[in-house]
Amino acid sequence: MKYICSICGYVYDEEAEGVPFDSLPDDWTCPGCGAEKAMFDPQEESGTGLAGSFERHVSGVATMTKLTPAILSIVFSNLARGSGKQYQGEEERLYGEISSYFSSICDGEEADLGMLQTLVAEDLAQRFPAALESAQERGDRGALRARLWAEKVSRIVSSLLSRYGREGEAMLEGRQVWVCSVCGFIHIGDDAPGMCPVCKVPGWKFDSVS
């Protein structure tokens, strides 16, 4: 039997490893991306296991989102980034200023880890499948790509939060936390990974959090 990582695609082959997947210790993590065991799915012999598991049918989650200050802050920080990529320094600064304005008027949130985990779980169970359905229906490749990257990033966030719940501070002691500046993938380790397992950019695109 083989098991495949739903984030980076690493395949754990029980036969080759000589250890059944279920017997691996709870703190075993994916050699490809550091995800915990729960992020692995059994690979069906017919070969299409991964795609199949995404095809849950979800209806009616999407509602036209209001442009709240929180969303506007993101829209404008993204446009600032876009201006930066086109080397338009003044535009970048002005878009950045407007983004900061909207951040400053957002309703605050409580420091509630449980709520954070709930939102990530809701995304994985409802919002990602809904986005998959609409993007597939319209054949929107760009939306499919962004959705897939974001879903993989949510999986690693969910995985890291549950690992932290089990291992506590020991999980992070003496280790750096790295974030991919392109897709948001999070890596824990002494160095940045050679390549982002989600969006495939080289390691220098990662920043460490201090």
22 binds, among Zn ion, another protein, none (CB under 5 to 8 A by kind): none
Question: How far, in Å, CA of 69 to CA of 99, rounded?
Answer: 9
Q: Is 206 in the site for another protein (CB under 8 A)?
A: no
Which positions touch Zn ion (CB under 5 A)? 5, 7-8, 10, 30, 32-33, 35, 180, 182-183, 185, 196, 198-199
List the one residue from 50, 179, 195, 201 that touches another protein (CB under 8 A).
Answer: 179
Residue 182 interacts with another protein (CB under 8 A): yes or no: yes
Pinpoint the alpha helices (H) of the chain: 14-17, 49-53, 69-85, 89-104, 113-122, 128-138, 141-167
Under rule CB under 8 A, which residues in 110-169 are in contact with another protein? Answer: 110-113, 115-116, 119-120, 122-123, 127-128, 130-131, 133-135, 137-138, 140, 142-143, 145-147, 149-150, 153-154, 157, 160-161, 164, 168-169
Task: Kindly determine how many residues on this chain lie close enough to bind another protein according to the rule CB under 8 A.
Answer: 85
- Indicate the SS3 state at residue 70: helix
**Alpha carbon distance 171, 35 (integer Å):** 13
For residue 151, how many other CB atoms are within 10 A of its CB? 20
